[in-house]
Amino acid sequence: MKLTRFTAAAIALLAACESHALAQSPFLYHITLQGTYYQTNSSGNFVATPITDKILVQKAAQAGGVSPSSIALVYHLQSSGLGDTIDFVNATNGSTLANVFGLYFGDDPTLGRSATTNATHTEIRRLDYVYTQQNTAFTSFNTHSMGSAFTVKRFLTDTNGTTHTTVEAQMSWIVNPSGTNGTKLCTASFNTTTPFP
């Protein structure tokens, strides 16, 4: 599967645009992601194949016709009223190229869902629905949840008064069959590393 033409064009266009240095964003964080997808082969046997943040970036760059160094995979804290997202962004200026995963509705009282926090409010644990809005090798467009993530957010303040945010999650999702490719069952864990850029 390839990125939709719109997404590929957006990645190529935005990655090629002149960009300016961006100060560290309090909402964008580099992430590392490691996991596996399972899919049956022509004999009907399950085959396990790795998924990493580097593979996601490489496939997106290939589909967009740009250098992998021009794209970054980031965790976007509070990207919308629905929740957080994992996005491809321009590696230089942080402009969003495409949403890869939406982690939504983990704390939505209108749906009867709530997150839980510790006594000092420095750690939040929630169960998010995973949404995928692009057709790629590792996602399929759908307006409904394609999986779930157990997400842990930590907000720790150092002795200088600076708050450091970390996010980690274990997530599972499906990729619908397309063409000759059958259904993929995916599982991965990720954690944020440093603020972007």
pLDDT of residue 180: 85
pLDDT of residue 112: 92
Q: What is the pLDDT of residues 157-190, one digit of tens each?
A: 999 999 999 999 999 999 999 888 899 999 999 9
Mean of pLDDT values over 49-69: 95
Q: What is the pLDDT of residues 69-110, one digit of tens each?
A: 999 999 999 998 899 999 999 999 999 999 999 999 999 999
What predicted TM-score, i.e. pTM, was given to this entire model?
0.85
Closest alpha carbon to 101 in 81, 77, 84, 80: 84
Q: 51-63 in b/e burial notation, b at 16+ Cβ within 10 A? A: bbbebbbebbbeb
pLDDT band at 25 (very low <50, low <70, confident <90, very high): low
Please check the confidence at residue 115 and state whether its pLDDT lies above 70. yes
Please check the confidence at residue 14 and state whether its pLDDT lies above 50. no
DSSP secondary structure letter of residue 181: B
Contact 14, 86 (CB under 8 A): no
State which amino acid sits at residue 100: V
Mean of pLDDT values over 31-36: 98
DSSP secondary structure letter of residue 66: S
pLDDT of residue 56: 96
pLDDT band at 24 (very low <50, low <70, confident <90, very high): low
Q: Identify the three-state secondary structure at position 24.
A: coil
What is the overall mean pLDDT for the chain? 88
Please check the confidence at residue 20 and state whether its pLDDT lies above 50. no
pLDDT of residue 33: 98
pLDDT of residue 26: 66
Alpha helices in the chain (DSSP H): 5-16, 53-64
Reading the block at residue 162, the tokens are 């600076």
Q: What percent of the chain has pLDDT over 90?
A: 77
